[in-house]
Structure 1
Amino acid sequence: MSVLTGDSIRHTNVLSQVHRFHYSEMDAYIRRFLRDVMWTQATIRGPFFYSLLNVPMDEVLSVEFFMPVEQSDVAVPEGMQFHSYFAVEDMMTYCVHTNFETSTEAAYKILLDEAEHRQLHQVTPFFHVFSGDRSLPYLMIKIGVAEGSGQAG
């Protein structure tokens, strides 16, 4: 599988929540976020995705969960945000079809190596976009990239 360049994430009417937790609690926090989305009574449009906001050196993750919905006006609980528009442009994408947990680290390396090869630098956190269905789920791992060294001048 090769890396897709020139990709993006673009959605309207997006609910999001930021959480910090031990990596072993990821599934519980995803379920909690989806429960909170259901509480808003908004119609889910999807896809569910999240961004990894830190490098988890201490096994603690900072994650922002996202869910696009149909409604343009949603009452949200405390700690949840509503974005009328969410977009990240100039992304590179790698698709993972199996063993999401074990393949993710390899996908990160593939994306970062490809960015370096193209003389690009990472300008966003890693995004994980879930797609497919129960019979063929897959995970799109994405990063935003830009030309240059990535160092402020």
Structure 2
Amino acid sequence: MNITENRMIRHRNVASKRYSFVPAEIGLAFEDFRTILQTHGANVDGRLFFTMLNEPIAEVMTAELHMGIKENDLTVPAEEEVIFRSYFEVKGLAKIRLLNDFDEQSQAAYWALYNHVKKDNLQQKTPVFVEYKQAPDGTTYVEMSVGVSG
């Protein structure tokens, strides 16, 4: 797996919400989040990514889910615990791209990033981000990244 340095994540108009779930149920968490956003008038634009807040081997995963929306603002009742950011940017990332078999490759990619940080005596500055992207031909791929310095 190739790791590229000095990458960034940059998005406009992103809604975020923290969830805990069994990893196999991440799709249910994203669907719940999508429903909350749509209920409050947001039009989701297809951008999906999440921040892993614990190691992927945990039985219950805690993650902050992020969805891009078309609107420049979002008002959601406080009890929904949704955060809106007009601009979301993280710089200084080490990144791996996964082109297929995402479930199988994600564990290997996580540990490759972890070992990259340790081997090069870097400091981990962010949790791990996982972005779902589409190539111009419509093919879906995943980028996994972590902020580093040192």
TM-score range, shorter chain: 0.7 to 0.9
SS of equivalent to 1:104: helix
Gaps in structure 1 of 5+ consecutive residues? 148-153
**Cα distance, 1:58 vs structure 2:** 4.6
Name the counterpart of 2:16: 16
The aligned residue for residue 126 of structure 1 is: 128
Higher share of residues assigned strand: 2
Higher alpha-carbon deviation: 63-72 or 93-102: 63-72
Structure 2 unaligned regions, length at least 5? none
2:144 to 138, 141, 146: 141
Q: Aligned runs of 1:1-153 on 2, under 5 Å?
A: 1-55=1-55, 58-77=58-77, 78-132=80-134, 135-147=138-150
**Normalized against structure 1, the TM-score is what?**
0.85
Query: Which runs of 4 or more aligned residues in structure 1 lie more than 6 Å from their structure 2 counterparts after TM superposition?
Result: none
> Using the alignment, how far apart are the partners of 2:58 and 2:100 within structure 1?
26
Q: 1:22 to 1:68 in 2, by over 3 A?
A: same
CA distance in 2, matches of 1:41, 1:115: 41
Contact 2:56-2:107 within 8 A present in 1 as well: no
Paired residue total: 147
TM-score of the pair, normalised by structure 2: 0.86
Q: Percent identity?
A: 29
How much is the aligned-residue C-alpha RMSD, in angstroms? Answer: 2.0
